[in-house]
Structure 1
Amino acid sequence: MNVKLNSRMQLLILFGLAAGLVTIAQSIITTGVVYLMSDFSVSSTQAQWSYSAFLLVVGVMIPLSAYISRRFRARSIFFFSLIIFLIGSVICYFSTSLITLIIGRVLQGIGNGIIMPYVQILLLRTLPEEKWQTYMGLYGLIIGIAPVLGSFIGGFVITFYGWRALFSFFTVATIILLVLGIFFVKDNTPTEDYPLDYLSVILSVIGCAGVMLGFTNVADYGFTHYLVILPIIIGIISLILFVKRQPKLDKPLINLSILKNKYFLVGTTFICILFSCLNGCTALIPIFVQGVAYNSAIISAAVMLPGGLLIIAFNIIGPLLTNRIGIKKVLIMGCIVSIIGFATMMFYTQDSSFEFMTITQAIRLIGAGLVLMPATTWTLTMVSDKVEDGTAVNNTLRQIFAAIGSSIVVVIVAVLAGGAIDHNTASVVAFNQTSLILLALHVVMLILTIVYIDDKDKIESAKK
């Protein structure tokens, strides 16, 4: 028993470290978008694909998480995902064009999309349901520290050594993890002969990529251009075919019937809105601080650091508060704090001080930190008997909306600014208007919480 326990702990620790590493890769490039625009002579929306493509691929990979967790052992998953991530890091380091860089980022995203949901599935399989909030908070701490420290350190690294140095770090760190895995990743996780429906995979890839590409092209071509309309139409048709195909399969790629659970649907909607706004701001704030307010990458990273540290802290505080006062009060509190944060962003100008931007971003991220893990865990408890399917559906939709959000928020500002984000009044007004839109979305989250979300035992009592 002790041998099995030690083996499982080693497995969780190494997967946790791997999750931290691949999470750093997700957002660290955002502090270098302005440099990519200069080095590759591309627009902000084009350079933003270095971030958006990563998120999109993660969203595409997560539907496979239920299949992967059932079909392969943890050791195989660990080595395959990290080797793919390593190859992507090397390609990014040597890239001579934005296209090459994006190819490397796609490979990094594949590694991330395999590791992240699998760690969550391992935790939920291993722990009793009454401990999910606490340990999911700890998991949130691990994946929360990574992007925050990554963005802050990334700002310094990019300023003094260039953006390629980021990928040399990923290369070395991944090699170290692979070596550790050879000695310590030994497990007997169960597997089953679970079939993979290749047509479903193709439809999901085309669907997600098409919608994303169409929305990303809006800023460069306008809403009526064929490079906007055609990808969106193809994407929507593919997603419709994907959704219709799943109920016909004995073992679907992703069990969408789980969305018939009203509370799981509400929780997933809440999380999708949250991640869309959160990742949209992750992409937008560095562009505003550097491109509109004319500050350095270091200042941009420093603006986000306190809020990033606070979201880490509240990833722990949120679940603990939920255990004490209930899910509804915590989510209401978090939504109100976030609304205040977005309201203050409506007063940003070209001359906004470092202190003002730092404090207001901290407020926004405290709200996000309060609700992030409690909402995720509550949603999964609504389908606790189908944790693999619940994790796959929830994480897939979350990441797709995160990818769309990271692109569409920048597109909205660019369109409202007249086609490009620059050091001018039009860009400031556009940023303020976009902040109002994000505020309104958080009001929707608040309404969902008040009307539908409550502790599981109260919901079950009301059913009786």
Structure 2
Amino acid sequence: MKTREWHVFAAIVAAGIMCFSGVLIETSMNVTFPALMHEFQVNANGVQWVTTGYLLAIAVVVPLSAFFIRNYSAYRLFVISNLLFFTGVLTDSFAPTLTILLLGRVFQGIGTGIALPLMFHIILTKSPLEKRGTMMGIGTMTTALAPAIGPTYGGVVMAALGWRAIFWFLLPLIIISFVLGLRSIPSEIVKRTESFNLLAFIMLSVGLASLLLAIEQLSGMWLILSLITLGAFYYFNRKTTLLNLHVFKNHIFNRLLVGVLVYQAMFLALSFILPSFIQIGLHQSSTVAGLFMFPGALIGAVLGPISGRILDQIGPVKPISFGLVISTIAMFLMAITFQNEMIWLLLGFHIMTQFGSGLAVNNLMTATLSQLDQNLSADGNSVLNTLQQFTGAAATAFAARLFANGQQQNALHGAMFGSRAGVMVLFGLFVMALILFILSINTLKKQWRTN
């Protein structure tokens, strides 16, 4: 079953299936949150850990990706990540309690945390520059399709068989990924040349977890702990590098990175806000909530590889500019629509946000990582993915906090107030991302003209 040579497209798909499955479960489970609140007797702040626990596990593991890639073969990393993910899905297939459910999600997060940067590493190192935009579009399409399918899949399966069945049907998909990876990724010999910085890893893990708790609970105590431990991480990381922070010396990288993170915040926050508002605020079923998310997410997924091809032909400036402007306008219009409680208007503006993301987000990632030299490629990939996952977790926790606060303050219209507040915050973030991108346009034009 092993192969001796790279089959890049198949390898990207094999790793992408795991990333797809993780996002599929994530967006599927968001539709089930009202049911989980009832079954496990928790509020929105408690149930959101089904998503944030998974994303936090990814955020903690992803910083290790640069170390893993330098010291272990892609074949070995793929096998380990696949088995961990399979274990997590199997655990959640029969989870009797919220604690067991969260444990399975952590296993899935660890597996995805290895697979996600591995997929982008394969794209950036095994595909030629002239095809990199297209290959990036193909890679991200595997994960972009998941939000299109996930809510509908989750709503329909839960209505028919219960939420645990969401995990049952993914087991064969993970097996397919495993077989495809074995046939497309060669078993290469990689000599380990570095020691593992355990103290830096522990400090980073505690720092990110405590920062997430500070956001979720609006706690000054957790914030102080996170600042102390992240400061300790910076100290230990300088001695033996776990996460190469030199990538932040590139100012264009930093500006473009903000745009990537804002889109990540939008994806995760809206996947919590909209299904919850539709079910609790508009009193619709989980199936309706799932179907609501489908058109926009599908448009975003289909546009992914198309926008990558546009980048290959004309560069990143025009597709990213149009995408950011469209998404920014859509967020504002969506925010002022909640009080009308008109589901069709919300649907139209959600489609608009996803159309903008389809044009911009993949090209933002490509342009961001392309700012770095080849020797910093793995490190930049690791930093980007770490911040992406943590931003997603933080956005979900913050959206859940605003939603819960709205319900506490107004029993009748609390879901509307909480949802509107969350979307207005996202609008402000998009304005900031748009300004930073405008400041980078001249540099991007020069780079792509040279290439």
CA distance in 2, matches of 1:109, 1:229: 27
Alignment of 1:154-303 (within 5 A): 154-179=154-179, 185-188=185-188, 190-218=190-218, 228-249=219-240, 252-303=241-292
CA separation in 2, counterparts of 1:118 and 1:135? Answer: 14
Question: Could you tell which deviates more after superposition, 138-147 or 31-40?
Answer: 138-147
Question: Structure 1's 191 and 146: CA in aligned 2 closer, same or farther, altered over 3 A?
Answer: farther
Deviates more, 1:128-137 or 1:348-357: 348-357
Distance 1:455-1:179 versus aligned 2 partners, 3 A rule: same
Question: Does 1:449 pair with 2:440?
Answer: no
Question: So what's the TM-score if we normalise by structure 1?
Answer: 0.90
In 1, distance between residues paired with 2:202 and 2:318? 42
| Residue 199 of structure 1, CA deviation | 0.6
Shift of 1:82: 1.6
Kindly state the Cα deviation for residue 454 of structure 1 after the two structures are TM-superposed.
4.2
- Which amino acid letter does the alignment assign opposite residue 30 of structure 2? T
Alpha-carbon distance between aligned partners in 2 of 1:7 and 1:187, rounded to the nearest angstrom: 12
What's the offset of the Cα at 1:459? 5.3
The residue that corresponds to 1:406 in the other structure is 396
Pair 1:342 & 2:331 matched: yes
After TM superposition, the structure 1 stretch with the greater mean CA deviation from structure 2, 430-439 or 9-18, is 9-18
CA RMSD of aligned residues (A): 2.3
- Cα distance in structure 2, aligned partners of 1:73 and 1:420: 53
Structure-2 residue corresponding to 1:75: 75
In the alignment, does 2:138 pair up with 1:138?
A: yes
Of 175-184 and 208-217, more deviation after overlay is shown by 175-184
Structure 1 residues 461 and 364: CA distance shift in structure 2, 3 A: closer
Structure 2 unaligned segments of length 5 or more: list them: none
Partner of 2:23: 23
Q: Assess if the C-alpha contact under 8 Å between 2:282 and 2:341 holds in 1.
A: yes
Q: Helix, strand or coil: the match of 2:408? A: coil
Return the offset for 1:173: 2.9
CA distance in 1, matches of 2:181, 2:142: 19
Amino acid at match of 2:289: S
- The aligned residue for residue 53 of structure 1 is 53
Count of residues in correspondence between the two structures: 447
Counterpart AA for 1:405:
A
CA contact (8 A) 1:8 1:187 kept: no
Distance in 2 (alpha carbons) for counterparts of 1:12 and 1:138: 8
- Give the whole-Å Cα distance in 1 for the aligned partners of 2:433 and 2:146: 26
Q: Quote the offset at 1:351 in angstroms.
A: 6.4
User: What is the rounded CA distance, in whole Å, between the counterparts of 2:80 and 2:424 in structure 1?
Assistant: 43
Pick which of 344-353 and 56-65 moved more: 344-353
Work out whether residues 413 and 421 of structure 1, in 8 Å CA contact, stay in contact via their aligned partners in 2. Answer: no
Deviation at 1:33, TM superposition (A): 0.8
Question: How far apart, in 2, do the equivalents of 1:191 and 1:148 lie?
Answer: 41
TM-score normalised by the chain length of structure 2: 0.92
Unaligned stretches of 5+ residues in structure 1: 219-227
DSSP 3-state at the match of 1:142 = helix
Larger deviation, residues 281-290 vs 3-12: 3-12
Q: Residue in 2 aligned with 1:382?
A: 371
